[in-house]
Structure 1
Amino acid sequence: MSTTYELKADAREQVGKGSARAVRRNGQIPAVIYGDKQPPLAIALSWKDVYYKIHGGGFLTTVATIDVGGKKIQVLPKDFQLDPVSDSPLHVDFLRVGKNTEVNVNVPVHFINEDKSPGIKRGGVLNIVRHEVEFHCPANAIPEFITLDLEGTDIGDSLHISAVKLPAGVKPVIADRDFTIATIAGSSAMKSEEDAAAAPAAAAPAEEKK
């Protein structure tokens, strides 16, 4: 699980586009905390804090604590908006996290031991079908990433979700099949070599008929 962090926020009494623009002019980011059967809470966060958290990675899979005037609320970022030109954050939605809160999150896939894959050593290519996998899990036990081991894999092999050892309580949202995460495929260079090798053999019968 990713390391948690804390953000300080100011409560916002007014909401709407005009209020949001005023918050941004003040060097802050408008945000909302919702869920856990409580009314939504409009807040304003430091632009700098939010920018570096979003672009630092793991933002949507890390539970955080937001300090709103001394009241600390555990949350999970659920969505955010970025300026399409500058990538500057414009708005963030947070979900309140209680003791029994469960969520759906997209978790990155990491691969290890590429240097121990016979297929890749022979010129094969790791073809990643899913860079992320969606899981249903407790909000306080979200894995930072899942790991697939490439040791011993050869060209033509497929790696499925069943090859991943998952923490307790973490289940893939797709539950009706053992879906593929990656394959070891032959490279285009290998195919060209195979075609070149096959060409003389194919030409031989034609020459014999002359």
Structure 2
Amino acid sequence: MNKLTYGLFASALALSIDVTHAASVAEVFNGEMLGTNQRYFESVAGIPRESFGDEHKFKVQGCDITATVEGGTVSKLRMELTPKCQADLTQFVGTFAPAPGKPLTVGAFNASSGGGLSYSASCLSMCGNAADPSVYAHWEGPRAIGFREVLLEVVLASDPALDAANQWEAQMRKAEGEDYVMETRFNCDRKYDAAAQKAFEKVQVSAVTIGTELKASGC
């Protein structure tokens, strides 16, 4: 076998192995992967496409999944949701999550989890054009599931998301004034979580992160 033939054979074999062992979203984005070491995670998910500090980005079945690795172990998993990329949160928090198979909405998660979501936003007023701001709904599970946390993210880009943000913002501005909204003081006092819940009830989630010590937008 000459070098060219051997090279083609080796490439074809590597491609065959790669395809045979291609991971599924269900294998990568599930609760059993939290707490695993980075080497094991990558043996299933593959080599990350990008890495920024502790965050490692993977493409699995066309879906964008980010693993946060701290101290050598996976502490958080994030998945961007699309019509073709839907997360099965029951694999992380059991019956506290809505049944899989439908687009995830803020209201569906709130209903299944029993409520208790806290809301924050990167920006609601005078945000500029650098990037679309996001609203976050954070939930901390009970002891029964190890206090595992869920962070729902809604990017303010679609009409339903923008309408919901405008409703939330208008209520806060009316009660507290312009500075309260512009300085994102609502991220500190939780006074308007119920208003946010009502406004975002039917809005689809853009991304979801599962893990511990999850941080959204601060004060």
Alignment TM-score, normalising by the size of structure 1: 0.28
**Which of the two has greater helix per residue?**
2
